[in-house]
Amino acid sequence: MNPGTMSWLSGRLRIWGTGDFSSWCSLDLLRPWKETAVILTLTGRGAPSFTPQDPDRVEAEIKKYIA
């Protein structure tokens, strides 16, 4: 799991899909108004990413299950 800050050039305007085939953004019409994306690092190709309303809570819940 890799939470990161988005900028206008690094995915904030991407509503859905991918630009480089290394990660995939789920459909989120409110993404341009959010600041943090969570990218899941999985085995294999591609890394799903999403932009939760409360990224700190999502990070805590994921860490609780993988620790």
2-39 per-position pLDDT tens digit:
777 887 777 788 888 887 777 888 899 999 999 898 88
Q: Is 33 helix (H, G, I), strand (E, B) or coil?
A: helix
- Provide the domain limits for residue 51: 2-66
Residue 27: predicted pLDDT: 92
Q: Are 6 and 12 in contact (CB under 8 A)?
A: yes
pTM recorded for the entire structure: 0.72
Number of H helices, E strands in the chain: 1, 4
Letter for the amino acid at 9? L
40 has a pLDDT exceeding 90: no
Residue 53: predicted pLDDT: 92
Q: Is 50 helix (H, G, I), strand (E, B) or coil?
A: strand
pLDDT band at 1 (very low <50, low <70, confident <90, very high): low
The number of distinct structural domains making up the chain is: 1
* CA distances, 3 to each of 10, 22, 35, 46 (Å): 13, 16, 10, 16
